Amino acid sequence: MSREPVLSVRDLRVWYGTEAEPVRAVDGVSLDLRPGETLGLVGESGCGKSTLGRAIIGLLPEGAAVRGEVSLRGRNLVGLPDAELRAMRGPELGLIFQEPMTRLDPLLTIEDHFLEALSAHEPGLERGEMRRRSLEALAGMGIPPTRFKQYPHEFSGGMRQRIMIALALVLNPKVVVADEPTTALDVIVEAQILGILSDLRENFDAALLLITHNLGIVAETCDRVAVMYAGKIAEEGEARRVFTQPAHPYTRELLRSIISLRTTELSYIPGAPPSLVDPPPGCRFHPRCPDAMRVCPAREPVEVEVGTAEAKQRVACWLHGPAAQIPPGGEAPLARGEIAVAEEA
């Protein structure tokens, strides 16, 4: 695997305008994605995962403000004209939506969907070549050519999701963003979709950003994982190490909430993610954190690296320092529910 990132995100910020205050859905996110790599993006609902994925693709709703850098092979996509971004979606950037039935046009056959995508991005292709490539992409997803002229409503949910994946891959994108690609699918179809996504590295050498709530999927398919909370990355690192040695309390509590055959009692994180209109000061997880210290509501945590040279993790948590920036008394425990903000040194 090449160590040179195909996609680099640096200090990315996304605001949604409201009648009151702006919603800071993504607030200073940085990450890298390399060719042939799968990066899992996890976190509770409302933490900004889908907004981050759409900001990378450039598919944010009207009125959203974006700052920072999204660099695709050295070219910053933030601020590019819409026409240039549209030309890059498909050949460079692919997106697999969460619910395929709402994304496939019910008035178009599957053939029409593929011909439309290919003619828009490769207008010089002959119709026979378009058909060949379309059928080849569908065959890779297990869709037989006899279904090529059928309409979306004639397919099951799992088959529609495979068609969406084929549409995303027919133009051989360098980066694919998959937003909850297995939602509402049964476990058998889910396993099939995960197998297809795992084959992306071998067959297409595409870099995959997999957005999901399902930590089991991440453990099975991802090389690295980034844990997002309240618009920020709390922890990021090699998936196996993050799952076995979580450095951030939020990651640890998410993992404790997973139900398995060995589960004897339910575990959960009290409370809910904060409003992104007015997030808590300091560490945004401190009102729910069992390990909160007095420094946590007073100062935003500094991102540090932990682990070994072979398997480093990035974590933003005062439990890991730097000690020099923790004021005297700041390491004292903060009682859960305490709202007084510790004074800065």
For 120-155, the pLDDT digits (tens) are 888 889 999 999 999 999 998 889 999 999 999 999
Which pLDDT does position 345 carry in this prediction?
39
Nearest Cα to 282, choosing from 228, 274, 236?
274
The position carrying tokens 């993992």 is 255
Which pLDDT does position 342 carry in this prediction?
41
User: Alpha-carbon distance 264 to 255, whole Å?
Assistant: 15
Extract the tokens encoding 245: 């040695």
Give per-residue pLDDT as tens, 278-294: 999 999 999 999 999 99
Look at residue 242 and give its three-state secondary structure. Answer: helix
Nearest 5°: phi and psi at 189?
-65, -40
Supply the DSSP symbol for 223.
Answer: S
Q: How confident is the model at residue 344 (pLDDT cuts 50, 70, 90)?
A: very low
Number of other residues whose CB lies within 10 A of the CB of residue 72: 18
Q: Residue 55 in contact with residue 14, Cβ under 8 Å?
A: yes
Which pLDDT does position 132 carry in this prediction?
95
User: Alpha-carbon distance 39 to 237, whole Å?
Assistant: 9
Q: How confident is the model at residue 233 (pLDDT cuts 50, 70, 90)?
A: very high
Number of other residues whose CB lies within 10 A of the CB of residue 90: 20
Give per-residue pLDDT as tens, 181-230: 877 677 887 787 788 777 777 777 889 999 998 888 898 889 999 999 99
Peptide bond preceding 322 in cis form (omega within 30 of 0): yes
Give per-residue pLDDT as tens, 45-104: 999 999 999 999 999 988 899 999 999 999 999 999 988 998 898 889 988 877 766 789
Look at residue 51 and give its three-state secondary structure. Answer: helix
CA 109 to chain centre: 30
User: Alpha-carbon distance 84 to 82, whole Å?
Assistant: 5
Extract the tokens encoding 210: 């997999």
Class of domain 1-92+173-270: alpha beta
User: Alpha-carbon distance 165 to 112, whole Å?
Assistant: 16
Say how many Å lie between the first and final Cα of the chain, rounded: 46
Which pLDDT does position 117 carry in this prediction?
92
Domain ranges of the chain: 1-92+173-270, 280-345
The percent of residues above 70 in pLDDT, for the chain, comes to: 95
Q: How confident is the model at residue 343 (pLDDT cuts 50, 70, 90)?
A: very low
Give per-residue pLDDT as tens, 298-315: 999 999 999 877 778 999
Give per-residue pLDDT as tens, 176-191: 999 988 776 778 877 8
Single-letter code of the amino acid located at 128: G
Kindly tell me if the per-residue pLDDT of 159 is higher than 70: yes
